[in-house]
Amino acid sequence: MTRTFNDLGAERYEDSAKPREYKKLVFALAYFHSAILERRKYGAIGWNIAYQWMNSDFDISEKQLMMYLDEQPEVPYQALNYLVAQVNYGGRVTDEKDVRCMNAMLKKYFCPDVMIDGYKLSKLDTYYAPPEGTLEDVLEYISKLPLEEDPEVFGLHTNANMTYETSTANFFMATILKIQPRVSSGEAAKTPEEIVQDMAVEMKDNLPDNMDISKAHEKTFATSAATGSMISLGVFVGQEIDRFNKLLSVIRKNLQDLKDAIDGTVVMSQELEMMFNSFLDGKVPERWLSNALGYPSLKPLASWMQDLLKRIEFMSNWLYEGPPKTYWLPCFFFPQGFMTATLQTYARETSTAIDTLAFKTNVMEYFADGVVDHPETGVNLHGLYMQGAKWNYVKMCVDDSDPKVALVNFPVIWLEPVARAELQLEGTYDCPLYKTSLRAGELSTTGHSTNFVLFVNLASQVHPDWWIRRGAALLCMPDA
């Protein structure tokens, strides 16, 4: 902020026809510029994608601010919010959830209340637009601000520091792994080849057989009485099982090839060598995570393998025992397809156009072990986590996180299909649901990130912008 005001200069700072309005708003603009840049260090909870905003974005916004103030009788807050957040800074933003966050942040600063002396720009008392004065007064105020900023300065919860510190530690550990020697440290220690071979043998022994669709439960691939075709969820689970079987087959073959390459019976190809190094580092081989074969995951190898076995167990139970009472949403390769299949099921049963339907979110008071039956319509979901906020079981609404608890288990959600026109969104927060904490993903043909599943409407007693600035979101899985 010091650099921003030094670049602005005293002559420009005193040049407006509405000095009080200009000085208050240009400080708010400088605060906004600094805040969106500093949020990047908190990773995905700050921004889904780390954008490269520049001084030119501030410069054009400041020029437009002065122009509108000089030419308009009243301060055009709505126009200024749109120009700055949507056009100037927003022109660099590709993720719609980041656009939403930018709008929510600027609305906190570009509002009539900013003209009130002492109006806080964050939850903390230290940060506010100083009273009208000279440029030297502003620089003196900025010089007294803390050197170490609390995440609350940027609208984030204090727990965001945990995310930042974890990512810093992970980066440090990754650097150490790159330079560590690949040889044993003593006569009694195992060689890297022995370590990887033991891992490959253990993993291969633990892998289950491929799922057999011919032994499916009668309800898994049941046909619709109205149309005579297979139910939508049956089509979906069949596609998921095919992908799991393909993944299992490739993993099984790769593990055998790796073992044979270490034994010297086959050539150690570049792909096998990369897999060898991944095993030594405790990382999942890239091929197993590729879009053509695997599913998004940030887990280390040991946790990833345990997670895979749990997914296979859930899918096997669905295949051989029929549809479950509650669905483990993180299990699926393509959870977006599960949502579509659920809406299709309701649309066919009620002869309703699917594009007129939406999900009403009903958060239950229990977890998966408390589900006793299938809902009349829609589906029960479990296994989600919440980051940046928590669920208050007394008020039954979104609430601020507890200190030092960055990620919490979320209760069962009943997604109830209803007519879109009847959906009540007032008093709710459109909470995004992501597959992983990375949040960013490739843009699909729908214009959404491949990491994004859907918006879940959660009850809230405060304005949704509060949770947007908090970066509150639901995740399908933790990183560990």
Does residue 185 form part of some domain?
no
Same domain, 353 and 210: no
In the predicted model, is pLDDT for residue 188 greater than 60? no
Query: What's the pLDDT band for 450 if we cut at 50, 70, 90?
Result: confident
The upper half-sphere exposure of residue 391, i.e. CA atoms within 13 Å in the direction of its Cβ, equals 23
pLDDT at 332: 97
Same domain, 318 and 335: no
Same domain, 67 and 107: yes
Same domain, 411 and 334: yes
Same domain, 276 and 421: no
For position 466, which CATH number holds? 3.10.490.20
Find out whether 105 and 59 touch, Cβ atoms under 8 Å: no
pLDDT at 170: 83
Does residue 176 form part of some domain?
no
**Among 16-25, 61-70, 182-191, 219-228, where is mean pLDDT lowest?**
182-191
**Among 40-44, 182-186, 454-458, 473-477, where is mean pLDDT lowest?**
182-186
pLDDT at 182: 62
Instruction: Write down the pTM of the prediction.
Output: 0.93
Query: What's the pLDDT band for 378 if we cut at 50, 70, 90?
Result: very high
For position 10, which CATH number holds? 1.10.8.720
In the predicted model, is pLDDT for residue 187 greater than 60? no
Does residue 170 form part of some domain?
no
Query: What's the pLDDT band for 175 if we cut at 50, 70, 90?
Result: confident
pLDDT at 443: 66
Query: How far, in Å, CA of 101 to CA of 256, rounded?
Result: 48
Same domain, 228 and 155: no
In the predicted model, is pLDDT for residue 447 greater than 60? no
Query: What's the pLDDT band for 312 if we cut at 50, 70, 90?
Result: very high
> What value does the mean pLDDT take over residues 422-438?
94
Query: How far, in Å, CA of 450 to CA of 443, rounded?
Result: 6
Q: Looking at this protein, which amino acid is placed at residue 16?
A: S
Same domain, 57 and 148: yes
Does residue 180 form part of some domain?
no
Same domain, 351 and 315: no
Same domain, 332 and 478: yes
pLDDT at 459: 97
Does residue 173 form part of some domain?
no
> What value does the mean pLDDT take over residues 296-315?
96
The model's pLDDT over 243-298, given as tens digits with 9 standing for 90+, comes to 999 999 999 999 999 999 999 999 999 999 999 999 999 999 999 999 889 999 99
Query: What's the pLDDT band for 445 if we cut at 50, 70, 90?
Result: low
Report the percentage of the chain scoring pLDDT > 90.
87
- Of 260, 293, 323, the last residue of a domain is 323
R_g of the chain computed on alpha carbons: 27
* 396-405 long-range contacts, CB within 8 A, separation 24+: 396/363, 396/365, 396/459, 397/458, 397/459, 397/460, 397/461, 398/429, 398/431, 398/458, 398/459, 398/460, 398/467, 398/472, 400/157, 400/470, 401/157, 401/159, 403/158, 403/159, 404/159, 404/162, 405/159
pLDDT at 364: 97
Same domain, 225 and 256: yes
Query: What's the pLDDT band for 185 if we cut at 50, 70, 90?
Result: low
Tell me the pLDDT of the chain averaged across its residues. Answer: 93
Same domain, 318 and 347: no
**Among 45-59, 142-156, 177-191, 251-265, where is mean pLDDT lowest?**
177-191
- Of 126, 149, 165, the last residue of a domain is 165
In the predicted model, is pLDDT for residue 32 greater than 70? yes
pLDDT at 184: 53
* 347-354 long-range contacts, CB within 8 A, separation 24+: 347/417, 348/224, 348/226, 348/227, 348/232, 349/226, 352/419
Does residue 351 form part of some domain?
yes
Does residue 178 form part of some domain?
no
> What value does the mean pLDDT take over residues 365-372?
96
Instruction: Show the domain range for 244.
Output: 190-323
- Of 130, 165, 200, the last residue of a domain is 165
Please state the domain count of the chain: 3
Query: What's the pLDDT band for 432 if we cut at 50, 70, 90?
Result: very high
Same domain, 352 and 463: yes
Does residue 85 form part of some domain?
yes
